Chains A and B, each alone.
Chain A
């Protein structure tokens, strides 16, 4: 670990550690500006963020560790924060703490002091702390800790330069011996275990931390040490002996004892450096708001009001820019078709217009929804209301194995699954988050509404329209809850995640942080989902286009006037033949025996495959199949499509079809976003095949039983 002068190194590695809600992210943004890279840690839903800045010709890489209250192996966030510090060994660790809740935040500092030598303590939200009458003797604190302390206000970007200067300063400093004091007994025990570790291959800098962890019997570290052969086994034995001694003396388990000692250290530190010049309770206003917002009677109505406002913002306000984007792409297609050299490279034209513009455009259309939803969510989160919402809804959600924080994403799913899945990011626990993500497509999204609008009037009497629509939504919700419960007891089984959650005081969200959150999410959506969706769009296009219907060649060769004279009927006839002839059509015919037990024929099969691009495509595909042109345009034509459907299929098939469309195969954008958000293909695959299988079983059962009892 004896590194030469840090400035000679190419890149200085800095890690930002801190608890959730300490304002670490805004500080990270302040340090790195827009030079960030956001991804996922392999295989987990935890976001991995890193960025760069240059300070006095020194290039610095900053890693924003996941927010965690402590370094342990319990939750993925804590585990990753721990691994980043212990295994990656950054050059400098910046511990960000909430200056208004020093006591709790500083425990993490005590832990970092056990495994890192170059530390900068960053007291964030120092303005709020000062307002409450708290004064901190920075000089004394620096002296007691042995490393620099800076005060910052992350969301206003105050103190960032100071922080950069201190990071640079610490990077070249001699390592200082940790001034952590945990009391004779514990320190001696740690010392003994660390000495025993000397014979193993555990690197010197990490020995302290390994010692603490194997003392606490943390399985991850115990196994790591045991893997190191005989000296490892001996070290574990030493730890076991020390543990027994401590537990005999204190009468409590080591875990509790160690945590108590951390708090002891923090308490002592705070006693020395904090002066409460006055007691201004900055929470008075916050408490008053809470008295109303989570009130026994008013709490739920207010919550529903907030939900409605978010919904309105996302889908009603969002409808306008959506329309603009839609028109823009329509215009783009028109321009390309008009100016495309006649009869040349028709396939490329089709690829660009139908495949790329149609597919990617269909996804980009949701961008305004996403931007606005994230605007709403950022405000909820930054203001502190999000945790109140979780407090209000946890009972209901928990009953189904979900979490209070699942509620908002699920409700968002009624608009569109994509922002809903992205909204699960506010959830801390991985299993809760995955369960929410996987069942989210069951919330009947806005794109499925046109399907219900087409099918319900086609098969059911007017007095049944509203109840059927309601039933479809209800069945979706019901299934989502049941599936969540099943998931949490099977694939996502495990110790229940603690709900123990901080309720930070209300804060006025700052424009800067809200906008940056919003931009970040939107950009991710564009970049990641966009690239994947582009690929899938092209595949879907190819499936419905190739192989070309032979007859068309002669048709295209005939003069344009001839086509015009043949009338639109012929063109539609052509589309129908083309679709039938295409791979998608062949697949439709091929799977007919498979879907027949649900009452479906190949035409429905093809349309359902099309629905994978986007749910509403089902309607236009059926339109093509019935050679009736775009049914969404003219109401007269739509009427005909409905009549045609009613003639071909029974209401029972209609119902079975609706169930299938509700449950089966989320659209490709949903799959892509699930892939992105879950960090692995495993979950979208489960979502895709699992939901389709369930849909198949349910539709089949409904059709067969329905037929049996004579519907």
Chain B
């Protein structure tokens, strides 16, 4: 999310907050005024001015003792980064951990400055992973219902398995890979079956969460040729039947 090649100006906590506020105001109103900044940050106008001078000196904003403040290109870059961190943390706290909005905001504000880049990076990864993983949404919703309904951890996890089966049975749009036509894409939900064939399918990296593109069928109509994650595989329709998928086109 940030370009590692160019150094980022190190800002104090409050300056980062100001950059964030300016970014939001500029984004929403095309310009930011001292008055608005003071209002948004809940401080007096007078106390905003020194901070603006400092940011101006750093070349992050244009501020000439007048009311209007704008971000320089460099400033916008810094602000975007700070803002993205803030937003991401807020969403992580709110959407994934299920922390109520106002607490999520507050915690994000507190944490965004003190979190190391490495720590942040890992949270980003986790966030991206859980969002891109098709099962992720389920996990989150279950986690949240769980923490609402029941505080007993064991029961909660036990219900998980049941939950999962429910989802599998109910999912009407779930098909087997066999039913996919050449040129279609789909997401793997589950691998059925047992023994060597299942193990081989898993060994080849065909597992839940993977996106598959059906390239073609053999001229005789049987083995299927699929592409995923940069590699190609052929498998018999009988084997494709074990792979349960959700079509991407529907």
B223 and A498 contacting across the interface, CB-CB below 8 Å: no
Chain A contacts for B208, CB-based, 8 A: 260
Query: A294 — which chain B residues lie within 8 A by C-beta?
Result: 216, 218-219, 225
Interface of B, helix, strand, loop or mixed by DSSP: mixed
In the assembled complex, B184 has its CB within 8 A of some CB on chain A = no
Residues on B with beta carbons closer than 8 Å to the beta carbon of A252: 164
Asked if A391 and B223 make an inter-chain contact with CB atoms under 8 angstroms apart, the answer reads yes
Q: Is the CB of A502 within 8 A of B200?
A: no
Give the residues from 196 to 211 in chain B that come closer than 8 angstroms, CB to CB, to chain A: 196-208
- CB of B2 closer than 8 Å to a CB of A: no
Using CB atoms, name the residue of chain B closest to A216: B199
Q: Is the interface on chain A under 10, 10 to 19, 20 to 34, or 35 or more residues?
A: 35 or more
CA distance A35 to B113 in the complex (A): 63
Chain A residues near B198: list those with CB within 8 A: 255
Query: A496-511 toward B: CB 8 Å interface, digit per residue (1/0)?
Result: 1111111111000000
Instruction: Find chain B residues with CB under 8 A from A338 CB.
Output: none
Interface flag for A308 (CB, 8 Å): no
Flag whether A647 is at the interface (Cβ < 8 A).
no
In contact, A392 and B219 (Cβ under 8 angstroms)? yes
Check if B125 is an interface residue, CB within 8 A of chain A.
Answer: yes
Which stretch of B24-32, B62-70, B227-235 is in the interface? B227-235
**How near does chain A come to B141, taking the closest CB pair, in angstroms?**
15
Known A104-B204, A256-B207: A248·B161 in contact at CB below 8 Å = yes
Given contacts A299-B219, A499-B223, contact A263 B196 (CB under 8 A): no
Residue among B163, B203, B221, B232 having the largest count of chain A Cβ atoms under 10 Å: B203
Q: Contact: A104 with B205, CB < 8 Å?
A: yes
Quick one: given A248-B157, A387-B234, A500-B200, are A395 and B221 in contact (CB under 8 Å)? yes
Contact indicator B207/A503 (Cβ below 8 Å) = no
A283 cross-chain contacts in B, Cβ below 8 A: 230
Whether the Cβ atoms of B125 and A500 lie closer than 8 Å is no
B220 interface hit (Cβ, 8 Å):
yes
A-B contact pairs, 25 of them (CB 8 A): A70-B203, A72-B199, A72-B203, A74-B195, A248-B157, A248-B161, A251-B160, A251-B161, A251-B165, A260-B208, A294-B218, A294-B219, A391-B223, A391-B234, A392-B220, A394-B222, A394-B236, A395-B218, A495-B196, A498-B196, A499-B235, A500-B204, A502-B204, A502-B231, A502-B232
A688 at the binding interface (Cβ < 8 Å): no
Q: B218 — which chain A residues lie within 8 A by C-beta?
A: 294, 299, 391-392, 394-395
Option from B158, B219, B222, B235 in Cβ contact (under 8 Å) with A500: B235
The contact string, 1 if C-beta is below 8 Å from chain B, for chain A 617-647, is 0000000000000000000000000000000
**A251 with B200: CB separation less than 8 A:** no
Q: How large is the interface on B (under 10, 10 to 19, 20 to 34, 35 or more residues)?
A: 35 or more
For residue A471, CB closer than 8 A to chain B, the reply is: no
Interface residue ranges, A against B (CB under 8 Å): 69-70, 72, 74-75, 101, 103-104, 107, 247-252, 255-256, 259-260, 263, 271, 283, 294-297, 299-300, 387, 390-396, 398, 404, 495-505
- The residue on A at minimum CB distance from B157 is A249
A249 and B196 within 8 A (CB)? no
Task: Decide if B108 is an interface residue (CB 8 Å cutoff).
Answer: no
Residue B191 lies at the interface, judged by CB distance under 8 Å to chain A? yes
Cβ of B76 < 8 Å from any Cβ of A? no
Q: How far is B216's CA from A378's CA once the two chains are assembled, in angstroms?
A: 26
Chain B residues near A101: list those with CB within 8 A. 230-231
Q: For A75, what are the chain B residues with a Cβ–Cβ distance below 8 Å?
A: 196
From the candidates A259, A390, A495, A504, name the one contacting B203 in the complex (CB within 8 A).
A259
Not counting A394-B220, A398-B222, A500-B197, a sample of 14 additional A-B residue pairs whose C-beta atoms are within 8 angstroms of each other reads A248-B157, A249-B157, A249-B161, A250-B161, A251-B164, A251-B165, A259-B207, A395-B222, A395-B223, A398-B236, A496-B197, A501-B234, A502-B232, A504-B232
